[in-house]
Structure 1
Amino acid sequence: MAQLEQSATSGSEWWRSAVIYQIYPRSFADASGDGIGDLPGITSRLDDLKSLGIDAIWLSPFMTSPQKDAGYDVADYRDVDPLFGTLADFDAMLQAAHARGIRVIVDLVPNHSSDQHVWFQQALKAAPGSPERARYIFRDGRGENGELPPNNWESVFGGSMWERVTEADGTPGQWYLHIFDVSQPDFDWTNEEVREEFRSILRFWLDRGVDGFRVDVAHGLIKAEGLPDYTPDASADSMGGGEEDVPYWGQDGVHDIYRDWHRVLAEYDGDRALCGEAWLPTLQRTALWVRPDEMHQTFNFPYMMTAWDADALRDVIRESLDEFGRVGAPSTWVLSNHDVIRHASRLALTADSPQGDGIGPRSAGKPDPVIGLSRGRAATTLMLALPGSAYLYQGEELGLPEAMEIPDEFRQDPTWFRSNGERYGRDGCRVPLPWTASGTAFGFNDTGASWLPQPAEWARFARDAEETQPDSTLNLYRALLTERRARKLGTGTLVWEDTDASAVAFRRGDLHVIANLSDAPIELGEDVTFVIRSEPFTGTALPANTAAWFTRA
């Protein structure tokens, strides 16, 4: 491969190069002892995050919710669910984070609300065609008596995307759209009242001092006119990343919404940021979401879902830098989150596992845990050398694998129930964190309660155990983040280097970065001085499934 220089976009805004740590609040730290993590628990662990070396935290939903989908069903967008604490607890956490130089991004769910939201309860009591129903997507059914759904769309969680209501007089009535669970009715974003409500919600949290928003299902707000029938390809990604034209994903009208939100954030000081969860089929289309007057970041899902393959990885990195660079935006890099199999397991799967399906006791192609962890550490070592912004998911700094052996009776993901147990869903990446190798609930709390069971073998991944191990995954992450900050690797130029075909290699100034994706060692030469190695080894031959940062004499 000929040397090719690629640059990150210029600009001084913090979000262009930040390392952002995702907190899934119910599984991070539990101060109350009820088995569910909370905001005071987060506050109590901010020093641990400061010592890790991250720049910002992103909190998955903590707003008032009946918790049918772990908080992604919001009943009140301007308050904290009692499970997690109070608005005062949020303000205290925000102040404590800012005092440590950590910015705070909150999750916003604009595609749908909970069916317990006051607006939807009003819609159920109102007549067809009323202003109350116009806030959501209500339609008459097909068939002689409206007994059939308005179209054939299938929910991401399984089953129909439509639910029929019973009208106030007790008769079968209209149907409402829910891309996800039946308890999550979709807003109608062609309605100006909906748009104005969310401007107000943005300002409510910005006035409290948040630094930005991660926007859930950012590509789903606008549906194709007429709601035409659509049957996805059997192998298609349920969130829309695998097909070009899906009538409820990535419609052009969403861009007007985010231009509007961009203007709202621009009213505030401090480079407030929007990051979109938009599963789109190509990087070229993904980059449209971060044009200068729209979002500031969008998740790089093509990168996250790339297999452990050198050619594929080189291609997606090169294309990411090109496409995001064309619109003046930074690429984001991410390997794990609360919706996908943890990358310390996913990168060693030996059978297909579509996004959202999860893996469990009866799954085929389970990963080898040793290979999975080695690949996971190598993948992170490569990722944190790339220019742009990086996202980490809680627990990956401990090398946590997917929790695969959760007994059926403990599962809680709606996917599990709506698919009648055919798809395990996302519980395996959401198990509460181990903070201590001993004690109840591994230090998640002092009572031993845990909303999902923690695997017994997680004692060896506990933070206090890894603190004292020089070669632990925790200390690898700390070293990577320290060196990344010192060398300003979030900005600047990447130069591709010629190397073995089964490796990915580039240079950042005088720092050489290489990941060996093959089954055999790669000799680097006698003139190398290692800065960081994803696995300990002797000599100058880079082992399989290992990455390194080094300089040359």
Structure 2
Amino acid sequence: MPPHPNSVLPVSTDWWRDAVFYQIYVRSFADGNGDGIGDLAGIRSRLPYLADLGVDALWMTPFYPSPMADHGYDVADPRDVEPVFGDLAEFDALLAEAHALGLRVTIDLVPNHSSHDHEWFQAALAAGPGSPERARYLFRDGRGADGSEPPNNWPSVFGGPAWTRVPDGQWYLHIFAPEQPDLNFTNPEVVADLEETMRFWLDRGVDGFRIDVAHGMAKPDGLPDMVPMDDTGLLADHGPGDHRFDQDGVHLVHRRIRAVLDRYPGTMAVGEVWVSDDVRLAQYLRQDELQLAFNFKLLTAEWDADALRQAVTDSLAAVEGTPAPACWVLSNHDRPRHVTRYGGGELGLRRARAAALLQLALPGAAYLYNGDELGMPDVDLPDEVLQDPMWERSGRTERGRDACRIPVPWSGAEPPYGFTSLASTWLPMPEGWQQLTAQAQTGDPASIQSLYRAALRLRRTSGAFGDANLEWLPSPDGCLAFRRPGGLVCLVNLSAGALQLPEGRVLLASAEVGDGTLPADAAVWLTA
């Protein structure tokens, strides 16, 4: 068998600057052992697919030992593998095989909190108030005459208060679920343990980390009350009045993280930083902090020319003056998929195809979410199968994120579509997805998967993209047009009617343009 065309990892210390990352939600990507839950063996079996798709790197969500109160983001041991997903030997094999195929591997780092099953938290519960064990977390006495009220008014992003009382009367802070106690990053032991975790995985050969809640970790002195807010939910930026996030002390943590990475040339970290202010976001991208930070403006923008142009402009402005490139996201495991956000059905799919060309034409790094290349939509699940902690914590008023976490369909005409050998999957897969499967789309030149393959190939091989800049071009109302320094022109038609194509050679289009016009809800790449 001849070597894969991407079989040699290029020697580069800043490969991430224009890389396309593929997010693998481990539970939902591929099941290798037949229990209905995705795992490391399943990922290994699909690595050739990912290399052929044309992505540069993977981001794997947490696969560490966990009681799964928040599907792995409640980590009981950050330096091992959850048996449901495999073991360290399986991870090492995955890493070696990915590298042999030219795929870099980045993994989730979850520093803000641990699982309540972590040995440290169990020791803290046993040790009692004032102990060194409790000092690793944020235990406080309650308010009120008998200490029966929480220490402050902070809400959990999953609903309810951010405090839980333990039998001896103290309370502990958890910005997320009660099973996810926040760690105290003013404690040197906590920082040292994070550094040890990073070295553990870097020594095994990982290429970097995605840092969960990268604007967390630091809390203001005294833990004062915060400004009451109507919407305190997940992934909302409320600005300086929200004491739970984006405190100045978080940058000290990021400098420690960067210092570890700098001892491993060619490694990187991207931060999940839900900060909408460009100046504040830029602070995370200073020379001695994160290499990348997700800018979610493209993900949160409506399907509207002005909104998308503003999202691009703001995202580029946020990194201007920093060493970092922009970092573009359309979907992830926490937000509704963009096929659904853009209207669902055929309309949503048409717009998702156009959005793919918009995202991949922009300068900087891009993150795809597993299933983006298949045009996967959200799935309206029945109440009884919902598993996201937001569902119960909100009193069953917020349905949570399960709809965007449905397992990936690989082949066949009925559920589970080749995801597993078991009849059922951890979240149910719907009927009617036979044309959505990777197998059905492979080789179909009209499929969204084929569009992604072509776009990724051009992005990797064409000189038309040039450096990390773009120039906006005049365009009709309801349209976006920009040129990259290498000569690539991207035109996105968000108006109600077809547009006459400008002069130039068509490199790729999200819809048929053979008559010289670009239909509504379509995009095209052109070059002179």
State the TM-score bracket (shorter-chain normalisation).
over 0.9
The residue aligned with 2:23 is 22
Find the residue that maps to 2:79 and give its secondary structure: strand
TM-score by length of 2: 0.95
The residue aligned with 1:361 is none
Please say if 1:281 is aligned against 2:276.
yes
Q: Is the 8 A contact 2:410 2:417 kept in 1?
A: yes
Please say if 1:529 is aligned against 2:505.
yes
The residue aligned with 1:389 is 365
Moved more, 191-200 or 312-321: 312-321
Q: CA deviation at 1:411?
A: 0.6
Q: Is the 8 A contact 1:375 1:545 kept in 2?
A: yes
Task: Supply the distance in 1 between the matched residues of 2:25 and 2:141 (Cα, whole angstroms).
Answer: 38
The residue aligned with 1:142 is 143
Find the residue that maps to 2:433 and give its secondary structure: helix
Find the residue that maps to 2:411 and give its secondary structure: coil
Task: Supply the distance in 1 between the matched residues of 2:146 and 2:225 (Cα, whole angstroms).
Answer: 20
Q: Is the 8 A contact 1:274 1:296 kept in 2?
A: yes
The residue aligned with 1:438 is 413
What is the CA deviation profile of residues 177-226 of structure 1, one whole-angstrom value per residue up to 9, with x for unaligned ones? 01111100000111111011111111000000000010000111111222
The residue type paired with residue 262 of structure 1 is R
Q: Is the 8 A contact 1:519 1:544 kept in 2?
A: yes
Q: CA deviation at 1:306?
A: 1.4
Cα pair distance change 1:306/1:490, threshold 3 Å: farther
RCO comparison, higher one (Cα < 8 Å, 6+): 1
The residue aligned with 1:354 is none
The residue aligned with 2:453 is 478
The residue aligned with 1:518 is 495
What is the CA deviation profile of residues 251-286 of structure 1, one whole-angstrom value per residue up to 9, with x for unaligned ones? 0101111111111111113x1001100101212211
Q: Is the 8 A contact 2:414 2:433 kept in 1?
A: no
Find the residue that maps to 2:313 and give its secondary structure: helix
Find the residue that maps to 2:355 and give its secondary structure: helix
The residue aligned with 1:452 is 427
The count of aligned residue pairs is 515
The residue type paired with residue 351 of structure 2 is R
Task: Supply the distance in 2 between the matched residues of 1:490 and 1:160 (Cα, whole angstroms).
Answer: 50
The residue aligned with 1:497 is 473
The residue aligned with 2:516 is 540
The residue aligned with 1:320 is 315
The residue type paired with residue 396 of structure 1 is D
The residue type paired with residue 510 of structure 1 is G
Runs of 4+, deviation exceeding 6 Å:
none
Q: CA deviation at 1:468?
A: 2.9
Please say if 1:123 is aligned against 2:124.
yes
What is the CA deviation profile of residues 147-179 of structure 1, one whole-angstrom value per residue up to 9, with x for unaligned ones? 111111111110111000013xxxxx1000011
Q: Is the 8 A contact 1:240 1:246 kept in 2?
A: no
Unaligned 5+ segments in structure 1 are 1-10, 168-172, 349-367
The residue type paired with residue 292 of structure 1 is Q
Moved more, 492-501 or 46-55: 492-501
Unaligned 5+ segments in structure 2 are 1-11
Cα pair distance change 1:436/1:490, threshold 3 Å: farther
Q: Is the 8 A contact 2:157 2:233 kept in 1?
A: no
Alignment map for 1:227-242 (pairs within 5 Å): 227-235=223-231, 238-242=234-238
Q: Is the 8 A contact 1:59 1:105 kept in 2?
A: yes
The residue type paired with residue 413 of structure 1 is D
Report % sequence identity.
Answer: 50
What is the CA deviation profile of residues 341-367 of structure 1, one whole-angstrom value per residue up to 9, with x for unaligned ones? 00111123xxxxxxxxxxxxxxxxxxx
Find the residue that maps to 1:84 and give its secondary structure: coil
Q: Is the 8 A contact 1:240 1:249 kept in 2?
A: no
Q: CA deviation at 1:144?
A: 0.9
Cα pair distance change 1:198/1:19, threshold 3 Å: same
Q: CA deviation at 1:316?
A: 2.3
Moved more, 322-331 or 201-210: 322-331
The residue aligned with 1:333 is 328
Find the residue that maps to 2:161 and give its secondary structure: coil
The residue type paired with residue 94 of structure 1 is L
What is the CA deviation profile of residues 18-57 of structure 1, one whole-angstrom value per residue up to 9, with x for unaligned ones? 0000001110000100010000110000000000000000
What is the CA deviation profile of residues 484-530 of structure 1, one whole-angstrom value per residue up to 9, with x for unaligned ones? 111253734312110112111011232211111122222224x3432
- RMSD (Å) for aligned C-alpha atoms: 1.5
